[in-house]
Chains A and B, each alone.
Chain A
Amino acid sequence: MKTETAPEAPAASPAEPRPPARVLPVWANPRLGLLIVIAALVVLFSSLTPAFLDPRLTLAPLQADISVYVVVGLAQLAVLSLGHMNMAVGRMAALSTFAMGLVYDRLGVPLLVGLLVGLAVGAGIGALAGLLIAKTGVNSFVVTLALDFGLLGLVTILYTWATGGVSFAVQPSGLSALRFDTFADYCTGEVCGPRIPLVVPIAVAAALGVGLLFRHARLGREILMTGSNTVAAELSGIPTHRRIVAAHAVSGLLAALAGFLLAANNGAFSANIGESFLLPSFLAPVLGGTLLAGGAVSVLGTALGATLTQVIYKGLNLLQFSLEELKLYIGLVLLAALSLDRLRAVIAERRAVSTS
């Protein structure tokens, strides 16, 4: 039917050359670069200190840490897709884990139910941030920064009210398994699983979910289009306000999940959860090639970016750098990584331009 309603194509003239596709070379792919840097660092650290390859003392905790920070990075990525920022990513995690601790403590709900309550709180507070940004038109940086400040006070007040301190003394059943167990502890007959902590599949599922959202889901694609050009998105029939609210809700939800994973790793639902989230939340996506400008995201890159930062952290930690030195070196390494990345992108872009 469509073939009847549209006109014929005007004859294409052979004189006009087809525009060449602008494809960046393989080496300009930031994901590949990250993978090489990670591999090189693993080799370096394990040659300097064999303890780096200890499966139980180093590798299992490292995987658990990476899981947390992959999800933290995804929480930021969810709004970077719009060209927005979520400065309250850590405090959203804190408020959500408070809600989890509260329902475990007072209602004694199972692990999964508490998690769902916390995720709902995270999504709700994220949606609130999105609503404020969409309705007022105020910059997301300012709105979430103010929200972060407010939540900082709120979380402290809530913990004082509910626990008289800064932490819930609860251990819902299953939490310690998430904390200490790996699949190697579960055997069928002679066959045991690999030494991978139980939190890892949760982070993998989150990454796959976010990947599916932005690659194939209409919602994710419309969020990206809104990030690419809000005016054009609105004039193409995309309900941009609702997409902004949705992206921020996803960000809050992932922040809550990251908070839960960290609480599981620490074995405590405490007020300081999320304090260390803000910088890594930006590092992971940006190292992985996600633009701050919006319109494009890389989930795989975010996972690799989070892995890189945690590998550096773990390696320097094992080499017995002090906390101050650790921060100094991690800052330098990341600056170097970002500069190299930028340099590579610029060179690749120049080549691509000269061929178009």
Chain B
Amino acid sequence: MSVVLSAENLVKTFPGVRALDEATLTLTAGSVHALLGENGAGKSTLIKILTGVYRPDGGLLRLPGPDGELRTVQLGNPQDAQRAGIGVVHQERNLIPAFTVAENICLQHLPRRAGLLDRAALRVEARRCLGLLDLDLDPDLPVSRLSVAQMQLVEIAKALSADSTVLLLDEPTASLTNDEADRLYGIVRRLSERGHATVLVSHKLEEVFAVADTVTVLRDGRTVAEAEPLADHTREQIVDLMVGRAYQQVHLADRTVDADTEPALALDHVATTAGHHDVSLVVRPGEIVGLYGLVGAGRSELAKALLGLDRITAGEVRVHGRPARIRDVGDALHRHRIGYVTENRKEEGLFLDQTVARNTAVTVWRKLARLGLVRDRAERSLVDEYADRLGIRLASPDQHAGQLSGGNQQKVSLAKWLAADCDVLIIDEPTVGIDVRTKAAFHELIAGLAARGMAILLISSDLPEMVTLADRIAVMREFAIVGELDNDHDYDRMSQSVIRLIHDGQGVVA
């Protein structure tokens, strides 16, 4: 197989941090190459060097010339990388919603005639790029009307539009459903059959094993496994390589829940203006109840309706046995001590341009304030306490939340509810985009909270996570609960039952 990209001994130093320390990556035509590593291992830095955003401090980057011989290149900026045939789909979406599909795909090289946009050529070019993905999408549709999955595919078409031979995909399925992810990976496989080399960065090891053929693992800026066939490794071996020590099994706190305990949160045949109907659910103190379903099944919407963002039209919500009418989040928090750790921490959970101190204390100012004034000392000691307890790595409590890593950000968005002394916590997709080690720490954390008497409603699309954590799993489909299963922690059996429930919608109660 011919080499289409060779990065040798790349070094990149930022003051105080050696982000890349002789990292090496070799790509061959037609391969799907997994690039793995924990947060902070240097994946993003490597990708930014390959796409011309950063310049390496040392090492070589070689690409094949017209004759096929590898020669050293300098990528001074993203345009250079594009011209060299390296296309990238970043984790964050980079489309302009008001522009059409065609305009977005050809944004970097809009065809012009007499200085004006050549619409006909634009459409032809866009169709060609969409054709590479076997995608039948109207090029004149504004991107704002597409689904999340369609946007993702348009991003790929855009990355391919400059005749890219190398395609870098950074967490491409983070916001996709399982079916959509399968479809995307089908496309990736077809691209590799046509000779494109794809680099896949993903935290979802199941997907990596399903689609990739070779793997490079980075740890602390170094390559610890270089372009090895993935088939030679087990999941555990890969995790060992990433973490750098024998993978510790998660130790979850032991819990026993008395079935006679008064539920902390009970939903009785609830219907909402969001479209839920006949939702019944019970969470007792010390219990973790999973709410599983596909993206769009109405799980986050249920949480938001419970918090008063939508109205409850029928049925009853009881908190500690008493009927509760919750008007808004403040009401839920201060009167009923219910907290909601949101799904999209960047959009809904955090104030990225505010300090960690304020992000943590926002829910407790009401308690900390004397005569309407908040004492900085009280706030700071609170933040120190929770940073310490949750293992949040901070240079200072005055650091902006946006500067933290994903795992630390998630801990901050959890900390504000713990600081507020909630006894019912709704946790929505707690480990999306978080690396293996932090994920395990999070699972221990959540189990620990329950062990100390908190009632937890866990919303997750991560079935292994559900089976690890939940005592019972309620399955939601189309805004209704289609069944509830007692979790026996046997992954194969549980996943089969859950998936049967989702697809048949029949209440098979295990």
- Given known contacts A7-B451, A21-B395, A238-B362, what 13 new A-B pairs fall within 8 Å (CB)? A7-B445, A9-B389, A10-B445, A15-B220, A16-B40, A16-B393, A19-B408, A21-B398, A216-B374, A217-B374, A229-B352, A237-B333, A356-B14
CB distance from B311 to the nearest CB of A (A): 16
B391 proximity list for chain A (CB < 8 A): 9-12
**Given A6-B452, A212-B373 in contact, is the A19-B404 Cβ separation under 8 Å?**
yes
B353 touches A228 (CB 8 A): yes
Q: Which residues between 171 and 185 of chain A lie within 8 Å of chain B, taking CB atoms?
A: none
A18 touches B395 (CB 8 A): yes
B16 touches A239 (CB 8 A): no
**Given A15-B220, A356-B403 in contact, is the A237-B329 Cβ separation under 8 Å?**
yes
**Given A236-B363, A236-B416 in contact, is the A354-B14 Cβ separation under 8 Å?**
yes
What is the CA–CA distance of A356 and B54 in the complex, to the nearest angstrom?
13
**Given A5-B452, A221-B358, A356-B14 in contact, is the A19-B399 Cβ separation under 8 Å?**
yes
Q: Taking the complex as formed, is B405 at the interface, i.e. its CB lies under 8 A from any CB of chain A?
A: yes
B40 touches A229 (CB 8 A): no
B369 touches A218 (CB 8 A): yes
Q: Taking the complex as formed, is B380 at the interface, i.e. its CB lies under 8 A from any CB of chain A?
A: no
Q: Which of A6, A8, A236 has the most CB of B within 10 A?
A: A236
B307 proximity list for chain A (CB < 8 A): 235
B14 touches A236 (CB 8 A): no
Q: Taking the complex as formed, is A89 at the interface, i.e. its CB lies under 8 A from any CB of chain B?
A: no
CB distance from B371 to the nearest CB of A (A): 9
B329 touches A235 (CB 8 A): yes
A231 proximity list for chain B (CB < 8 A): 347-348
Mark interface residues in A207-232 (1 if CB within 8 Å of B CB, else 0). Answer: 00000100011110110110011011
A229 touches B342 (CB 8 A): no
**Given A217-B373, A237-B332 in contact, is the A19-B358 Cβ separation under 8 Å?**
no
What is the CA–CA distance of A10 and B437 in the complex, to the nearest angstrom?
10
CB distance from B305 to the nearest CB of A (A): 13
CB distance from A345 to the nearest CB of B (A): 14
B333 proximity list for chain A (CB < 8 A): 237
Q: Taking the complex as formed, is A17 at the interface, i.e. its CB lies under 8 A from any CB of chain B?
A: yes
Residue in B closest to A6 when the chains form the complex, CB atoms: B389
A18 touches B393 (CB 8 A): yes
Q: Taking the complex as formed, is B171 at the interface, i.e. its CB lies under 8 A from any CB of chain A?
A: no
A295 proximity list for chain B (CB < 8 A): 351, 353-354
Interface size class of A (residues with CB under 8 A): 35 or more
Q: Which of A225, A229, A355 has the most CB of B within 10 A?
A: A229
B40 touches A218 (CB 8 A): no
A21 touches B16 (CB 8 A): no
A2 proximity list for chain B (CB < 8 A): 385, 421
What is the CA–CA distance of A178 and B15 in the complex, to the nearest angstrom?
56
Name B's A-contacting residues (CB within 8 A).
Answer: 14-17, 40, 220, 244, 253, 307, 309, 328-330, 332-334, 340, 342, 347-354, 358, 362-363, 365-366, 368-369, 372-376, 385-386, 388-391, 393-396, 398-400, 403-405, 408, 416, 418, 420-421, 437, 441, 444-445, 447-449, 451-454
A221 touches B330 (CB 8 A): no
A229 touches B350 (CB 8 A): yes
Residue in A closest to B416 when the chains form the complex, CB atoms: A236
13 contacts between A and B (CB under 8 A): A2-B421, A6-B449, A7-B448, A9-B389, A12-B391, A17-B16, A19-B408, A20-B395, A216-B375, A218-B372, A221-B374, A235-B342, A355-B16
A7 touches B437 (CB 8 A): no
A235 touches B340 (CB 8 A): yes
What is the CA–CA distance of A16 and B42 in the complex, to the nearest angstrom?
11
What is the CA–CA distance of A210 and B63 in the complex, to the nearest angstrom?
59
Q: Taking the complex as formed, is A255 at the interface, i.e. its CB lies under 8 A from any CB of chain B?
A: no
Q: Which of A4, A232, A234 has the most CB of B within 10 A?
A: A232
What is the CA–CA distance of A103 and B94 in the complex, to the nearest angstrom?
58
What is the CA–CA distance of A212 and B363 in the complex, to the nearest angstrom?
20
What is the CA–CA distance of A238 and B253 in the complex, to the nearest angstrom?
34
A219 touches B374 (CB 8 A): no
Residue in B closest to A231 when the chains form the complex, CB atoms: B348
What is the CA–CA distance of A264 and B458 in the complex, to the nearest angstrom?
62
A237 touches B330 (CB 8 A): yes
B398 proximity list for chain A (CB < 8 A): 21
What is the CA–CA distance of A233 and B365 in the complex, to the nearest angstrom?
13
What is the CA–CA distance of A20 and B369 in the complex, to the nearest angstrom?
31
Closest 6 CB pairs of A and B: A7-B448, A10-B441, A21-B395, A237-B330, A9-B391, A237-B333
Q: Taking the complex as formed, is A13 at the interface, i.e. its CB lies under 8 A from any CB of chain B?
A: yes
A225 touches B351 (CB 8 A): yes
B334 touches A216 (CB 8 A): no
A15 touches B244 (CB 8 A): yes
B445 touches A20 (CB 8 A): no
B447 proximity list for chain A (CB < 8 A): 7
What is the CA–CA distance of A131 and B452 in the complex, to the nearest angstrom?
43
Q: Which of B328, B332, B351, B385 has the most CB of A within 10 A?
A: B351
Residue in B closest to A22 when the chains form the complex, CB atoms: B403
A239 touches B354 (CB 8 A): no
B365 touches A218 (CB 8 A): yes
Question: CB < 8 Å: which of A4, A9, A212, A218 contacts B366?
Answer: A218
A22 touches B354 (CB 8 A): no
B453 proximity list for chain A (CB < 8 A): 5
A22 touches B400 (CB 8 A): yes
A4 proximity list for chain B (CB < 8 A): 452
What is the CA–CA distance of A228 and B220 in the complex, to the nearest angstrom?
34
A12 proximity list for chain B (CB < 8 A): 391, 393
Q: Taking the complex as formed, is A100 at the interface, i.e. its CB lies under 8 A from any CB of chain B?
A: no
**Given A5-B453, A219-B372, A354-B15 in contact, is the A235-B348 Cβ separation under 8 Å?**
yes
Q: Taking the complex as formed, is A123 at the interface, i.e. its CB lies under 8 A from any CB of chain B?
A: no
Q: Taking the complex as formed, is A245 at the interface, i.e. its CB lies under 8 A from any CB of chain B?
A: no
What is the CA–CA distance of A233 and B253 in the complex, to the nearest angstrom?
33
B389 touches A21 (CB 8 A): no
What is the CA–CA distance of A296 and B389 in the complex, to the nearest angstrom?
29
What is the CA–CA distance of A220 and B16 in the complex, to the nearest angstrom?
36
Residue in A closest to B405 when the chains form the complex, CB atoms: A19
What is the CA–CA distance of A235 and B386 in the complex, to the nearest angstrom?
20
What is the CA–CA distance of A282 and B452 in the complex, to the nearest angstrom?
52
B449 proximity list for chain A (CB < 8 A): 6-7
What is the CA–CA distance of A20 and B396 in the complex, to the nearest angstrom?
9
A229 proximity list for chain B (CB < 8 A): 347, 350-352
**Given A4-B452, A6-B452, A216-B374 in contact, is the A232-B393 Cβ separation under 8 Å?**
no
B349 touches A19 (CB 8 A): no
B16 proximity list for chain A (CB < 8 A): 17, 20, 355
A15 proximity list for chain B (CB < 8 A): 220, 244
B340 proximity list for chain A (CB < 8 A): 235
A20 touches B15 (CB 8 A): yes
What is the CA–CA distance of A262 and B304 in the complex, to the nearest angstrom?
49
A9 proximity list for chain B (CB < 8 A): 388-391
A225 touches B445 (CB 8 A): no
A228 touches B351 (CB 8 A): yes
What is the CA–CA distance of A218 and B358 in the complex, to the nearest angstrom?
11
**Given A19-B399, A218-B369 in contact, is the A234-B389 Cβ separation under 8 Å?**
no
Q: Which of A212, A221, A234, A355 has the most CB of B within 10 A?
A: A221
A8 touches B347 (CB 8 A): no
B351 touches A222 (CB 8 A): no
